[in-house]
Chains A and B, each alone.
Chain A
Amino acid sequence: MEVYLDNSATTKPYASVRNKMVQALDENYGNPSSMHRLGVNAEQLIRESTSIIAGALKVEPKEIIYTSGGTEANNLALIGTALANRRRGNHIITTRIEHPSVHQPLVHLGENGFNVDFAPVDKTGRLIKESLYGLVNDNTLMVSIMYVNNEIGSVQEIDELAAELKRIKKDIIIHVDAVQAFGKYRIYPKRQNIDLLTFSGHKIHGPKGVGVLYVSESIRINPVVFGGGHQRNLRSGTENVPGIAGIGQAVKEIYQDFDNKIARLYELKQYFIRQLAGLEDVSIIGIPNECSNEFEMEHLKKTAPHIINACFEGVRSEVLLHALEDKGIYVSSGSACSSHHPTPSVTLSAIGLPKQLLDSTIRFSMSEMTTREEIDYTLENISQLLPKLRRYTRR
């Protein structure tokens, strides 16, 4: 049995996405900038995707920019906005649990004349609101907050945070990294006070190598990639037509039958963590304090539907990961993107997880394709493996 529980790293593309991309490669291979019909046909594919995406976000098509993925979209949002608006202020606020594609551009801006503050989170990975609001000053230009944390699935109350930040300082620009949230939540930037929003194709059963940045038309932004002036001069480079066709199709499909999909994911999550928490020396990370051992749905719904992070005391996460891999179960230790570096996870450190547990956590991330049978198979294998793995340790 193959059980893929690493959907926060990447997802399996929908068959319809694949078909759409094959068609784009086979038939619509023209350059969308070309004057002839092949170019027009390719451009038409982009228009279709843009219209789907703008429709899903309830924004204007001209507010959609395609990039090479979430990382580039975050870079463009942060660096592009900071450079275009530096006269308005040089202070930027973010959180301590951002993905490196937000954290690192901000570190770069910090080295180049901007002041960056990192707002703390509580033990469950939620922003401490008063601390965040307290950081705003006259120079605050922008606040960047991730919607869903990629490692532990904690969710920020974006509506309330954005509204309050704008109440404190009217012209604050709000950027939201929604890479893990898009397709799991209905996101309408204009109603939620979001000025810039990032998401990525391959986290929503679309292709790798394509991402989207929504840029409110009221925001001034500079390009970070220069060249032939494509996409209204904001992102030069011939458009990735197959990728864009693919991400459009993925957005279309992921919001079909949406409420049922999400309800099902929460039920699976509740079932999964109830069983996990029942095992010896296993704890669930990022669950709201209000939750009892029953993991009531009303509280659980304050976390993302698809991410479960569990700590297995006395087991090294990499060993458990490979042991599960051997059974055909694919999971992640820490955040997959940061697994290149043998350094402890930023998020887990920020929520104050004790040092000896940092190396014992596993992230399970589900998708709409995940089944109850797969979860049962996973649970069965974990409960068999734990005693054996705990017996053989370094001593």
Chain B
Amino acid sequence: MFKAFLIKYAEIGLKGNNRYLFENALRDRIKEALGRLGKFEVSKEQGRIFISCPEEYDYEETVAALKRVFGISSICPVAVIDSSDWELLTQGVGDYVEAMYKDRSFTFKVEAKRADKNYFLTSPEICSRMGAYLLARFPQLKVDVSNPEVRISVEIRTKCYVYSIVIPGPGGMPVGSNGKAMLLLSGGIDSPVAGYMISKRGVSLAATYFHAPPYTSERAKQKVVDLATKISAYAGKMKLFVVNFTDIQLYIYDQCPHEELTIIMRRYMMRIAEKLALQEGCLGLVTGESIGQVASQTMYSLAATNEVCGMPVYRPLIAFDKKEIVELAKEIGTFETSIQPFEDCCTIFVARHPVIKPSIRVINKSEGKLAERIDQLLEEALSTVEVIEIG
């Protein structure tokens, strides 16, 4: 029944002179999110974004898509009243109440906003007069200003809007308003959630995946493509870089102590991801690491992997428990995909007893044994990267 939505945003509203950049980004993200679903017109309107729906559309699907656009604090399906003429306005609001609520024995409150400060009534006056009108038209209604069952909001702008449904949005900031980062994406539960969280702060993403054929399969790669697609429902379009890591991994296996394999591998993954990140204009790396989750994520191990990167490494899950990460993964819809049983390249050769307190000095010494071929192997890995466009 709704022909339009009013979109509210929270944090962007606090910005100063840059505000228009954030508003434009939000408008564009909304256009992208709805573009696939049908015809919508999206425009900025003084502290709000207005979406009108001139054609038939699927309400549920549309709201679901909007709930994935970062920067939106709430989604209000609205009725539009073309004129602010008081008589037409009260009539319109009354019609809205009549259509929305079959049973009108509830308590209510009118909340008003006027963008047009020259309007002949002040906001409190609009509230009380509109309340009086509604009470007269629907005698079963009762006013309760402190704890109403229904809040009827009226906003007087170039047109007038009335709404009483407020659907919470995801919050955060519009993607693209805060630069770009490179996500190290495995097939696991954590890294997709890390990508989601960083992109919630307005950061757009690229992703790197390391595969190791024949030790990992085409299906494991497809799983990562599926995960990237799920993240892109929030984070927008992204490039997925697929790096063939087999030769590097086998070389490390040949040359270095086995219990250091995972740490050294991860250091090379960071180095490769950083190179790709620089090429892509990214300003940081993102990982799904969480302190102490596995041997390679102890404070010692994190220090050892961090040491090889010049770029900041963002670890949004660093202090999360696994249980909390799983809950988030379920919420954003990546969990089911993540738990498909395909082996990823981190686990294939993992030692039974990997080091948990690696010393950077010792690790550097072990890496010294790779001097002969590693540069060539890194170059090969970078020159054979497969790029998959997601979203």
Q: Which residues does A use to contact B, with CB under 8 Å?
A: 318-326, 342, 392-395
Contacts and interface: CB of A to CB of B under 8 A. Distances in A.
A249 B341 CA distance: 39
Contact of B214 (A325, A342, A394, A395): A325
Contacts of B216: 322
Contact of B215 (A322, A324, A342, A395): A322
Given A342-B341, A392-B253, A395-B258, A318 B217 contact: yes
Given A392-B250, A395-B258, A326 B348 contact: no
Contacts of A323: 213-214
Contact of A392 (B343, B349, B350, B352): B349
B351 A319 contact: no
Instruction: Count chain B CB atoms within 10 A of each CB in A319, A320, A321, A342 and give the residue with the most.
Output: A319
Contacts of B341: 342
Contact of B348 (A324, A325, A342, A394): A394
Interface in B187-238: 213-218
Interface of B: 213-218, 250, 253, 258, 341, 343, 348-352
Nearest to A389: B214
A322 B349 contact: no
Contacts of B343: 318
Q: Nearest 9 A-B pairs (CB), nearest first?
A: A322-B214, A323-B214, A342-B341, A319-B214, A319-B215, A322-B217, A392-B253, A322-B213, A392-B250
9 contacts: A319-B214, A322-B213, A322-B215, A324-B214, A392-B349, A393-B349, A394-B350, A395-B351, A395-B352
A329 to B, nearest CB: 11
B11 to A, nearest CB: 45
A326 B250 CA distance: 17
Interface of A, helix, strand, loop or mixed by DSSP: helix
Given A325-B214, A395-B352, 6 more contacts: A319-B214, A321-B214, A322-B215, A324-B214, A342-B341, A392-B250
A393 B348 CA distance: 8
Contacts of B250: 392
A393 B258 CA distance: 11
Which of A323, A326, A392 has the most chain B CB atoms inside 10 A of its CB? A392
Contacts of A320: 214
Contacts of B215: 319, 322
SS class, residues of chain B in contact with chain A: loop
Contacts of B214: 319-326
A164 to B, nearest CB: 43
A124 to B, nearest CB: 30
A373 to B, nearest CB: 23
Contacts of B217: 318, 322
Contacts of B349: 392-394
Contacts of A393: 349
A6 B214 CA distance: 18
Contacts of A318: 217, 343
Nearest to B351: A395
A155 to B, nearest CB: 32
B329 to A, nearest CB: 21
Nearest to B350: A394
A393 B218 CA distance: 20
A318 B250 CA distance: 17
Contacts of A395: 258, 351-352
Contacts of B352: 394-395
B307 to A, nearest CB: 27
Contacts of B213: 322-323, 326
Nearest to B349: A394
**Which one of B215, B253, B351 has the highest number of Cβ atoms from chain A below 10 Å of its Cβ?**
B215
A106 B215 CA distance: 37
B355 to A, nearest CB: 15
B196 to A, nearest CB: 28
A324 B253 CA distance: 22
A318 B351 CA distance: 19
A324 B215 CA distance: 11
Contacts of A325: 214, 218
A103 B198 CA distance: 48
Nearest to A394: B349
A319 B215 CA distance: 5
A318 B212 CA distance: 13
A314 B215 CA distance: 14
A331 to B, nearest CB: 12
Contacts of A321: 214
Nearest to A320: B214
A325 B215 CA distance: 12
Nearest to A385: B214
A255 to B, nearest CB: 36
Nearest to B258: A395
Nearest to B216: A322
Contacts of A394: 348-350, 352
A394 B349 CA distance: 5
Residue from B214, B351, B352 having most chain A Cβ neighbours under 10 A: B214
A321 B348 CA distance: 15
B158 to A, nearest CB: 57
Contacts of B350: 394
B261 to A, nearest CB: 10
Nearest to A340: B341
Nearest to A322: B214
Contacts of B258: 395
Contacts of A326: 213-214
A122 to B, nearest CB: 32
Contacts of A322: 213-218
A342 B339 CA distance: 13
B71 to A, nearest CB: 41
A322 B351 CA distance: 22
A338 to B, nearest CB: 13
Nearest to B249: A392
A393 B349 CA distance: 6
A320 B217 CA distance: 11
Contacts of A319: 214-215
Nearest to A342: B341
B101 to A, nearest CB: 45
A326 B214 CA distance: 7
Contacts of B348: 394
A342 B342 CA distance: 9
B208 to A, nearest CB: 21
A142 to B, nearest CB: 36
Q: Which of A318, A321, A323, A326 has the most CB of B within 10 A?
A: A318
A326 B258 CA distance: 27
B223 to A, nearest CB: 14
A322 B220 CA distance: 12
